[in-house]
């Protein structure tokens, strides 16, 4: 069970506003650090090569390394309103990232292992074993690039952006609805989503030939 930190009791020697901001942001980072330890210890279901673990742990480590620079910048801002605005955005980004980490960690648990086998077998047969995919349980079938979405949360952390661009420019989420999980005859629909992924990462046929994919 994760501990939720709200205030940093060790923090002293700054204005009340600066203290509150630093305390709130450091608490959010500690929650992320807890989530990181949980992932390191328990792993993520279906992540057989530990690549998703590396992506998420790597991001949290880079955020931890940069957070004091971000706090220093907030201290340098003259106007209190601007300090509040900036700290709110940083805090929301950290919360958003924690939300995504928890979402991935918990919803992957509900995906049958066999569906992961099917996904990996399909990629292998198509000659694209290098393509990174995570399956998560959600309301409707679809796919998106997790890496691109995580970058949008990470605009304050240049090292995180560089890390994602260099090591994981593509890491796909396939959203799998409960109805599909309950009906194995429909599992090939996941292969349909793999088609979208390969189009976006490898083929780009739509742009080249004006082909429409459904």
Partner 1 sequence: MQTSGISEREMTAAELFEDFHGRMGFRNKVSNALMAIALFEVKSRSKNLRKYISDGLIISKECVSILEDITQNYSTYRHRDYTSKTLFDILTNRVSQNPDKSKLETYKKGFSAAEEVFETIQAGGKPDQEKVRTAEQIMTEIDQEIESTYASEESLYRGSFIPR
Q: Is residue 2 close enough to count as binding partner 1 by CB under 8 A?
A: no
Q: How far is CA 53 from the centre of its chain?
A: 10
Q: Is residue 156 close enough to count as binding partner 1 by CB under 8 A?
A: yes
Which residues in 161-180 contact partner 1 (CB under 8 A)? 173, 175
Contact pick of 6, 10, 76, 214 for partner 1 (by CB under 8 A):
76
Closer residue to partner 1 (CB): 12 or 214: 214
Contact pick of 20, 38, 54, 149 for partner 1 (by CB under 8 A):
149
Q: Is residue 208 close enough to count as binding partner 1 by CB under 8 A?
A: no
Among candidate residues 191, 160, 177, 139, the one with its CA nearest the CA of residue 63: 160
CA 106 vs CA 31, 32, 35, 44: distances in Å:
16, 15, 12, 9
Q: Strand pairing of 133-137 and 142-145?
A: unpaired
Q: Is residue 110 close enough to count as binding partner 1 by CB under 8 A?
A: yes
H/E stretch holding 184 reads none
CA distance 159 to 47: 24
Place of tokens 């780009």: 204
Q: Is residue 144 close enough to count as binding partner 1 by CB under 8 A?
A: yes
Contact pick of 7, 11, 92, 213 for partner 1 (by CB under 8 A):
92
User: In the Cβ-directed half-sphere of 39, how many Cα atoms lie within 13 Å?
Assistant: 30
Among candidate residues 150, 156, 190, 195, the one with its CA nearest the CA of residue 170: 150
CA distance 20 to 22: 6
Contact pick of 11, 15, 48, 85 for partner 1 (by CB under 8 A):
85
Contact pick of 8, 19, 64, 102 for partner 1 (by CB under 8 A):
102
Contact pick of 142, 169, 184, 188 for partner 1 (by CB under 8 A):
142
Q: Which residues of this protein are in contact with partner 1, per CB under 8 A?
A: 69-70, 72-73, 76-79, 82, 85-86, 89, 92-93, 96, 99, 102-103, 105-107, 110, 137-144, 148-153, 155-156, 158, 173, 175
């Amino acid at each position: 069970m994760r501990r939720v930190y709200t205030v940093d009791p060790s923090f002293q020697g700054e204005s009340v506003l600066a203290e509150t901001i630093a305390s709130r942001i450091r608490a959010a980072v500690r929650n992320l650090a807890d989530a990181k330890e949980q992932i390191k210890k328990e792993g993520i279901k279906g992540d057989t090569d530990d690549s998703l673990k590396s992506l998420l742990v790597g991001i949290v480590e880079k955020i931890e390394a940069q957070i004091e620079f971000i706090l220093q910048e907030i201290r340098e801002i003259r106007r209190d309103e601007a300090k509040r605005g900036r700290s709110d955005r940083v805090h929301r980004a950290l919360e958003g990232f924690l939300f995504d980490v928890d979402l991935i960690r918990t919803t992957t648990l509900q995906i049958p292992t066999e569906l992961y086998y099917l996904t990996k077998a399909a990629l292998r047969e198509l000659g694209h074993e290098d393509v990174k995919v995570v399956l998560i349980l959600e309301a409707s079938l679809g796919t998106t690039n997790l890496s691109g979405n995580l970058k949008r949360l990470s605009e304050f952390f240049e090292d995180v952006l560089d890390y994602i661009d260099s090591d994981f420019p593509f890491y796909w989420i396939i959203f799998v609805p409960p109805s599909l999980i309950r009906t194995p005859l429909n599992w090939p629909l996941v292969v349909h989503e793999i088609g979208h992924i390969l189009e976006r990462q490898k083929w780009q046929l739509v742009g080249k030939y004006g082909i429409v994919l459904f």
